[in-house]
Amino acid sequence: MSFVLYGDRGSGAFSVEAALAEAGVPYEFRTVSLKDNAQRAPEFLAINPSGKMPALQVPDGGIVTESLAILVMIAERFPDAKLLPPPGSYARAQALRWLAFMASELYPMVEIVDYPERFAPKGAESDALRECAREKLRERILIIEQAVAGPWLLTDGFSVADIYAAMFSRWDIGSEFRKANLPKLVALANAVAERPHVAPIWRRHFPPPK
């Protein structure tokens, strides 16, 4: 039995799919349609009661949720892929630091921007909340921009933190803001998108505008 990844195009499943591809791991992608609100359907809630994606079924049948945990698990299961620096190293601590920062500081703002009515009454209040969350998201992604060592987030080279940062750079911040304020992150995302194993996955999740 191979890995089974539950997610949708353009969702957080991108980071996990890209990590699996970098590791050379066979997997099946099962679409859970955000458009159809399928993440709230009983079938998916039985897989992840939080109703959030991605979720990864491992070959023994167990389920792992939370993208940070999934990425670390993949890196640890397949060390030859060098998705994280060596255990115990300073570089690994930095990679985990930025993964944790993005998971805890960026993801919550993304949810509010996408679904403000979950947190405030629909209408003027939820619209105002969305804009506040977008500004916080921009503030916090600028911290990542300042940290990019070039071409990657870490001076030690490519890691799953780069996949994660590239994904967040595509979400909810506005193309004009991205162009004006995130030159290093744009370059990092382009470098991730050009990696041979990631390129077809990037094009599927983040197709160029028509």
Task: Tell me which H or E stretch contains 5.
Answer: strand 3-7
- pTM for the full predicted model: 0.95
∠ Cα 164 56 85 (to 5°): 40
The total of other beta-carbon atoms located within 10 Å of residue 208's CB is 5
Kindly give the confidence (pLDDT) of every residue in the chain, 210 residues in length, as a single tens digit, with 9 standing for 90 and above: 699 999 999 999 999 999 999 999 999 999 999 999 999 999 999 999 999 999 999 999 999 999 999 999 999 999 999 999 999 999 999 999 999 999 999 999 999 999 999 999 999 999 999 999 999 999 999 999 999 998 999 999 999 999 999 999 999 899 999 999 999 999 999 999 999 999 999 999 999 876
Amino acid at position 63, single letter: I
Domain boundaries, given as residue ranges, for the chain:
3-81, 90-195
The matching CATH number, chosen from 3.40.50.10470, 3.40.50.11780, 3.30.200.20, 3.40.30.10, for 3-81 is 3.40.30.10
Alpha-carbon gap, residue 199 to 197, rounded angstroms: 6
Report the alpha-carbon distance of residue 189 to residue 202 in Å, rounded.
Answer: 10
- Name the CATH topology of 90-195: Glutathione S-transferase Yfyf (Class Pi); Chain A, domain 2 (1.20.1050)
- State CA 125 to chain mean position distance: 28
pLDDT at 208: 85
Contact (CB, 8 A) for 23 and 73:
no
